Amino acid sequence: MSNIASKILVPVGFSEQSIIALGQAFSLAKIKNSEVVLLSVIEEKSSMFDIFTINDIEYDKMKIKVMNKLKEIALEHSKKYGVEVDSMVAKGSVYEKVCEVANMINADLIVMGTNGAPKGITKKFIGSNAEKVVRSANCPVITIKGSNHKDGCENIILPLDLEKQTQEKVAYALEYARYWNSTIRIVSVVLKNNENVRGQLMSNLKLVEDFINNAGVKCTTELLEAEKKISLSEAILDYEKRFQSDLIMIMTKKEESISDSLSVTARNIIYNSEIPVMSIHSKSRARRINPTTAF
């Protein structure tokens, strides 16, 4: 591998969705001047064996076939985007190997598909593994569910609550908005009759809007009012549909009541959004006394 500082890791399960994610990763890598690292993970008794040959083939032979396929994909995309590519094949648990390799190469981003695979092929790879990668990776993870995505990004949806991690999320939003000259659309959700929180959110929105505008990036803000029966994630996804949005940025964290789990809001956004979702872990892992909702 080269000494390029920025590296984007793309898990490839050879499904249609993982190839769509691949295109998005290369488009971003060209802008970021990043190297792309393709990774395929072979699990024992995995359906990936069926893509190439019979189930009982030896791992070494399978590894050669998978690597050759990866190199074909790497060559095609490297020529198309002018981006340096490396390819790796590992054996073991998909999400564990993805996170292990991400740490090993010091990846600053992981891009992977979340559904859309043909029946019986890489089903596990894009199902629970995607969520496990999101909650375990030490770098941001972009998950891609839909099928029609632009190479650029006109609008970035940035949901904000009253969490202390706002500064981290805004920093990432500014970075990626500058890559594409995007508009950051900040949105918060308040339940009706919750005037106390409403005032705090409006003040928070104004502070963040001024900060982003002063940084020279286009920005809008909106406070949404939701009924109790409407989940926070549904309000965000409904808001996203009002614009030609291309990316939702959320901050993820562990809920104290459910060990090693994403919040319900984060999970719903990741699995129901038709546009890519970037999940960012807070650097602070300190336990909170009062339960909060992470976007």
Mean pLDDT over 14-36 rounds to: 86
* N-term to C-term CA, the chain: 35
- Lowest mean pLDDT segment, chosen from 25-39, 168-182, 230-244, 278-292: 278-292
Nearest alpha carbon to residue 63 among 38, 35, 84, 91: 91
pLDDT of 36: 96
pLDDT digits (tens, 9 = 90+) for 171-195: 999 999 999 999 999 999 887 777 8
For the chain, give the mean pLDDT.
80
pLDDT of 272: 85
| Confidence band, pLDDT 50/70/90 cuts, at residue 50 | low
Res. 213: pLDDT tops 90: yes
pLDDT of 197: 84
User: Cα–Cα distances in Å, from 197 out to 119, 162, 190, 249?
Assistant: 45, 9, 7, 22
pLDDT of 88: 94
pLDDT of 258: 34
- Lowest mean pLDDT segment, chosen from 64-68, 137-141, 223-227, 230-234: 230-234
More confident residue, 2 or 263: 263
Among residues of the chain, what percentage have pLDDT more than 70?
78
More confident residue, 289 or 160: 160
Query: What are the tokens at 228?
Result: 């109790």
- Lowest mean pLDDT segment, chosen from 58-67, 100-109, 246-255: 246-255
Residue 204 and residue 160 in contact, taking contact as beta carbons nearer than 8 Å: yes
Mean pLDDT over 37-55 rounds to: 67
- Lowest mean pLDDT segment, chosen from 52-61, 66-75, 215-224: 52-61
| Confidence band, pLDDT 50/70/90 cuts, at residue 60 | confident
Res. 210: pLDDT tops 90: yes
| Confidence band, pLDDT 50/70/90 cuts, at residue 56 | low
More confident residue, 126 or 220: 220
pLDDT digits (tens, 9 = 90+) for 79-128: 999 999 999 999 888 889 999 999 999 999 999 987 633 344 334 444 46
pLDDT of 19: 79
Among residues of the chain, what percentage have pLDDT more than 90?
42
pLDDT of 9: 97
Pairing of strands 155-159, 247-252: parallel
pLDDT of 57: 59
The three-point CA angle 268-16-241 to 5° equals 40
| Confidence band, pLDDT 50/70/90 cuts, at residue 259 | very low
Res. 77: pLDDT tops 70: yes
